[in-house]
Structure 1
C-alpha cells in the first residue's frame, strides 16, 4: 500500500520562548549541568532528575563516519506516538521519509551550530494537521566533539493527533 502524501515542515523558535514548560525545565537542567563548559557530557545527565519529561525524551548517538544519528533511548510517549520502538533506529529511518529527512537535518544543524535548537514541527496528512515542539541539546564527552544529543518534545494536547498522523502517513 502506498503511503498517503504528507506535509512536514518546521519553524525555528527562540530557544528562550517560555511557551513550553517541560522544554524550559530540561533546557535549564542542561544549562546547569554544562556550567562554564560549552556542553555537558552524557555522564553529567541523570534521567532520574527529569523523570516527568522522560516519556518524551530521546538520547541520540552521533556517528561521524557518515553523519548519522541513532536512537539509543526513546521514551514511552514517543513509542506511543510513532506506534513503534525507535531504539536502535536511525533518524533517517523515521516515517514518513520526509519526516526522517527533516529530523536528520535538524540534528546535523545542532552539530554545526554547537548549540541547542528549538523547533515547532508541523505535520499534515489528509485533513489532519497537528504540531509539536522539540528541543535538541548537544552533549560532549571531551568538551569538543558532540557525541550525543538529547531531545525533549512538548506535545501539549496534540498527542492523539500525532499518533493519528504517524498511523495515517504509513497507511
Structure 2
C-alpha cells in the first residue's frame, strides 16, 4: 500500500528499500523479532548497528499516540534536521516548520505504532534547514509486551539518487 502524505510517499512494504543502510536496519529489526510481530527495545543492541548509528532515531510513543518523544537522534540525522531534538516531542522539534510538517511526521509514526508494522516514507523534505532535500526512511515498531508499541526505531538517509528518482512517482 502506498499513500501520499504532504508530498511524501508512505509505504508499508519496506522490503522495497533500495538504500543499503535502510535495508540493513530493517533486516536487523526483522532478525531480532524472530517469530514475534516486533522486537522489544531490549532486543536492540546499538553496538550491532555501529555502522548505521548516525542515521538512526529512537522515539518513545506517548500515551494514546498523542505524540512521540525523541530519545536518541543520530548525528547524521541531526545535521540534516539542523539540530539534535533529543528529549523533545515531534510537536516541539518541528514547531518552526509549521503544523503541516508536525502532522505529517506524527502521521507516519502513528501508522507504524497503530498498525504495528514497518513503514517506509520518502520524498521531498522542504522543511529541512537547507531547503528542499530528498529523503528515504523506515519506521520500525518496538514493543515490550508484544502488543503495544512503546518505541519506534527509525532510520533516515538524505539526497540519495534512488530517492530522488523514485520520489517523482508513487511505488507500483
Fold shared, TM-score > 0.5 on shorter chain: yes
Preserved contact between residue 124 and residue 132 of structure 2 (Cα < 8 Å): yes
- Matched residue count: 149
Matching residue of 1:151: 154
1:5-29 CA-to-partner distances (Å, cap 9, x unmatched) read xxx5210243111411111000000
Q: Name the SS of the counterpart of 1:105 in structure 2.
A: helix
Determine if the alignment matches structure 1 residue 92 to structure 2 residue 91.
yes
Equivalent residue, structure 2, for 1:12: 10
* Aligned residue among 109, 112, 131 for 2:111: 109
Q: CA deviation at 1:49?
A: 0.6
Q: State the Cα distance separating 1:66 from its structure 2 match.
A: 6.0
Instruction: Using structure 1 for the length normalisation, give the TM-score.
Output: 0.80
Aligned partners of 1:122 and 1:129 also within 8 Å: yes
Structure 2 gap ranges (5+): 1-5, 162-172
For 1:66 and 1:36, locate their aligned partners in 2 and report how far apart those are by CA, in whole Å.
25
Counting only pairs closer than 5 Å after superposition, residues 61-140 of structure 1 correspond to structure 2 as 61-65=60-64, 67-93=66-92, 94=94, 95-97=96-98, 98-124=100-126, 129-140=132-143
Distance 1:123 1:140 in 2: 29
Higher strand content, 1 or 2: 1
Task: Using structure 2 for the length normalisation, give the TM-score.
Answer: 0.80
For 1:156 and 1:26, locate their aligned partners in 2 and report how far apart those are by CA, in whole Å. Answer: 18
Is residue 134–residue 159 contact of structure 2 (8 Å, CA) maintained in 1? no
